[in-house]
Amino acid sequence: MGRLSRRGSGEESEGWGSMFKILFSGLLASGLVIGVANAKVIAHCGVSNGYAFYPKYGIAAKNKDAGEWTKDRISNGQFSISLSDNGKFDVLFKDVSGGIFSTVADGGQIILLGKTTDSLSLFVGYPNKSAETYTVYRTIEGKTEMMWTQNKFGVILPKVAAFIASCRYFKF
**For the chain, what is the domain count?**
1
Angle at 166 between CA 149 and CA 159, to 5 degrees: 20
CA atoms of 118 and 65, how far apart (whole Å):
37
Name the DSSP letter for residue 15.
T
Q: Between residues 149 and 95, which one has the greater pLDDT?
A: 149
- pTM of the predicted structure, to 2 decimals: 0.77
Q: Which helix (H) or strand (E) holds 23?
A: helix 16-30
Instruction: Note whether residue 7 is domain-resident.
Output: no
Q: How does pLDDT run across 50-82, given as a tens digit for each residue?
A: 999 999 988 888 888 999 999 999 888 888 999
Terminal-residue alpha carbon distance, the chain: 28
Indicate whether 1 belongs to any domain: no
Residue 59 backbone phi and psi in degrees, to 5: -65, -30
CATH number at residue 155: 2.40.160
* Residue 3, domain member (yes or no): no
Q: What is the dihedral of CA 99, 100, 103, 105, to 10 degrees?
A: -100
**Per-residue pLDDT tens for 106-154?**
999 999 999 999 999 999 999 999 999 999 999 999 999 999 999 999 8
Asked if the model's pLDDT at residue 45 lies above 90, the reply is yes
- Asked if residue 27 lies in contact with residue 102, where contact means CB atoms within 8 angstroms, the answer is yes
